[in-house]
């Protein structure tokens, strides 16, 4: 029984935002349906009361006194639902912030490590090491689910999310250049990871609007995206290209 309760509690903690939002939405739906039914009943009650008292119109006080009990479940449903939705959104926002903070800490540590590595062994050797890391990552990922693109038929790995897609290097490089050009010429000066994924034909991610690239004068900018390609093989021994980020995405909210 202890393990059962522990499993239930773990499930509750893991899915707390979804549970709260679900309860809130269900409560609002219940309130809406009940309000419609209550209005129909209230109309009949008011019509009957007007006949009984021989009146053409009832005052607000009279209508309220005659029908308020019908709307009590509606009020209770709304009172329960709205806090659940707010709490669910708050928990979700807090978890996203924690994820972003953890990413920022790890990214800062990685930047310090990479800078020291470049200093000790040189940029060329450091680049070779990063390429080898991406190649190893490609060999670890199953390539069964491949996202097709109209821009080509060569297999590529997007290493940040471990997803394969088909395109060609010219199209990928052009997408990078277009985003950089748009950032330089636009008012925002930045673009998100989701903007990049959209150019590649990939779906958005949970932190896709938090991370991205920006112009040097924007917030805590590390610079616009710079990429190069390395060649590798998938886990099932298919040849593929892999995107290497010379400037990795960072938190663009500040």
pTM of the model: 0.50
**For position 47, what pLDDT does the model report?**
85
Spatial contact of 159 and 242, defined as CB atoms under 8 Å apart: yes
More confident residue, 97 or 88: 88
**For position 114, what pLDDT does the model report?**
62
Mean pLDDT of 219-230: 81
Spatial contact of 185 and 160, defined as CB atoms under 8 Å apart: no
CA distance 11 to 16: 8
Spatial contact of 73 and 34, defined as CB atoms under 8 Å apart: yes
Q: 233, 234, 232, 230: which is closest to 244 by C-alpha?
A: 230
Sort strands 211-214 and 190-192 into parallel, antiparallel or unpaired. antiparallel
**For position 107, what pLDDT does the model report?**
57
The CA distances from residue 222 to 19, 20, 101, 113, 117, in Å, are: 38, 38, 17, 15, 18
**For position 175, what pLDDT does the model report?**
94
Angle made by CA atoms 228, 232, 238, in degrees to the nearest 5: 135
The structure tokens listed for 201 are: 């034909």
Spatial contact of 233 and 240, defined as CB atoms under 8 Å apart: yes
Sort strands 163-167 and 154-158 into parallel, antiparallel or unpaired. antiparallel
Strand ranges for 98-226 from DSSP E: 146-147, 154-158, 163-167, 190-192, 211-214
The structure tokens listed for 250 are: 């960072």
**For position 128, what pLDDT does the model report?**
73
CA distance 60 to 62: 5
**For position 172, what pLDDT does the model report?**
93
pLDDT tens-digit series, residues 95-122:
666 555 555 545 555 566 566 666 667 7
Matching residue, tokens 């995405």 = 249
**For position 24, what pLDDT does the model report?**
77
pLDDT tens-digit series, residues 133-183:
767 766 666 555 555 555 567 889 898 888 889 999 999 999 999 999 998
Sort strands 239-245 and 227-233 into parallel, antiparallel or unpaired. antiparallel
């Amino acid at each position: 029984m202890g393990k059962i309760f522990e499993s239930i509690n773990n499930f509750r903690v893991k899915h707390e935002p979804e549970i709260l939002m679900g309860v809130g939405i269900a409560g609002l739906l219940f309130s809406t349906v009940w309000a419609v039914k209550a209005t129909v009943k209230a109309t009949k009650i008011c019509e009957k009361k007007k006949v009984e008292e021989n009146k053409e119109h009832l005052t607000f006080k009279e209508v309220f006194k005659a029908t308020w009990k019908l709307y009590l479940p509606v009020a209770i449903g709304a009172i329960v639902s709205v806090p659940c939705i707010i709490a669910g959104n708050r928990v979700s926002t807090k978890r996203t912030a924690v994820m972003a903070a953890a990413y920022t800490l790890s990214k800062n540590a990685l930047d310090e490590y990479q800078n020291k590595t470049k200093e000790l062994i040189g940029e060329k050797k450091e680049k070779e090491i990063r390429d080898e890391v991406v190649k190893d990552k490609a060999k670890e990922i199953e390539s069964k689910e491949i996202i097709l693109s109209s821009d080509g038929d060569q297999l590529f790995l997007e290493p940040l999310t471990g997803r394969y897609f088909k395109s060609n290097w010219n199209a990928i490089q052009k997408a990078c250049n277009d985003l950089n050009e748009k950032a330089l010429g636009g008012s925002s000066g930045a673009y998100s990871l989701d903007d990049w994924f959209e150019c590649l034909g990939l779906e958005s991610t949970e932190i896709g609007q938090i991370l991205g690239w920006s112009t040097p004068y924007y917030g805590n900018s590390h610079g616009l995206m710079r990429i190069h390609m390395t060649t590798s093989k998938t886990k099932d021994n298919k040849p593929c290209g892999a995107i290497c980020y010379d400037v990795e995405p960072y938190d663009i909210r500040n």
